[in-house]
């Protein structure tokens, strides 16, 4: 009986290796395979305390997300989303049930003003800059930026003597992920180097449905950080009720904390594909 060659790739053999099956190469075994990453974070309310003084609402900083690139790898950030939350008194004071400012009872060190479930972010570009009292010398300011530091986030915090986060320990405020901290936590300057491409601090937010699509390279043995910073003064919200009467609310800070997200992938740094992406990979 005449035998026909097998078409099953699991049964085929390499020439000269009759007893060694030729198995298809697995995607995860490819040297130039892409490894996606997604990192995000944020906070919807401020922590405040008088002992010690922990007041990030007036002048604060928030580390929103961090991604480490191991040795031998290179990273590409493909999307960014970042924006501040808006207090319910300003985004829609009457949403839900008329006459209610949607505040919460203070709980420990948490501020009673928190991001609402709907309309909770500024949709107008730089919209917070409209909220200031007459005679105020400084408009509300908010910016975000990217920076890289050598090693991991944990190593950088340990080198700076920062232990587990505690309001009572100012040293622990440094590079604390997600939690808005007073700007004096970085009195010695912000850590890290700017990424290539002349990306300066940006004062315009990037909403969830309007991600920046780009192609930013992060070198090996670096952690890329997504920061935001703000300065502001409280304002007195005013609105008219259904009867047309003016209703005045308690003073509120225009900016709540922020959220941020970075989407991208890792790749072997020494491969031709990674080098090609560095030249032509904006959309890849």
DSSP line for 114-167: ---SSS-B--STTGGGG---TT-SS--EEEEEEEEEES-HHHHHHHTT--S--T
* Distance, first Cα to last Cα, the chain: 52
pLDDT at position 129 is 96
For residue 213, give both structure tokens. 């699509």
pLDDT tens, residue by residue, 138-151: 889 999 999 999 99
Average pLDDT over every residue of 51-71? 95
Its pTM stands at 0.85
Residue 93 has pLDDT above 70, yes or no: no
Average pLDDT over every residue of 168-185? 97
Q: Across the chain, what does the average pLDDT equal? A: 85
Place of tokens 């901290």: 181
pLDDT at position 14 is 47
Phi and psi at residue 154, to the nearest 5°: -65, -40
User: In the chain, what percentage of residues exceed pLDDT 90?
Assistant: 56
């Amino acid at each position: 009986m005449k035998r026909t060659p097998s078409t099953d790739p699991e049964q085929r053999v390499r020439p000269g290796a009759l007893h060694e099956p030729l198995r298809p190469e697995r995607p995860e075994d490819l040297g130039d395979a892409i490894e996606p990453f997604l990192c995000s974070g944020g906070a919807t309310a401020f922590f405040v305390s008088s002992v010690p003084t922990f007041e990030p609402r007036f002048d604060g900083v928030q580390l929103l997300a961090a991604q480490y690139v191991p040795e031998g790898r290179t990273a590409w950030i493909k999307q960014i989303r970042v924006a501040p939350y808006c207090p319910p008194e300003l985004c829609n004071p009457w949403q839900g049930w008329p006459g209610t400012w949607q505040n919460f009872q203070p709980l420990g060190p948490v501020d009673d003003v928190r991001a609402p479930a709907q309309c909770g972010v500024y949709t107008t570009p730089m919209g917070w800059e409209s909220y200031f009292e007459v005679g105020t010398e400084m408009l509300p300011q908010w910016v975000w930026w990217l920076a890289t530091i050598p090693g991991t986030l944990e190593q950088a915090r340990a080198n700076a003597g920062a232990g587990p986060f505690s309001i009572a320990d100012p040293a622990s405020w440094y590079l604390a992920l997600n939690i808005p901290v007073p700007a004096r936590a970085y009195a010695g300057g912000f850590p890290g180097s700017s990424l290539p491409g002349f990306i300066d601090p940006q004062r315009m937010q990037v909403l969830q449905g309007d991600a920046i699509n780009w192609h930013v390279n992060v070198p090996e043995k670096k952690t890329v950080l997504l920061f935001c910073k703000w300065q502001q003064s409280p304002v007195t919200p005013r609105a008219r009720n259904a009867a047309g009467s003016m209703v005045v609310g308690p003073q509120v800070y225009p900016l709540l904390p922020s959220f941020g997200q970075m989407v991208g992938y890792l790749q072997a740094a020494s491969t031709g594909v990674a080098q090609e992406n560095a030249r032509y990979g904006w959309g890849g």
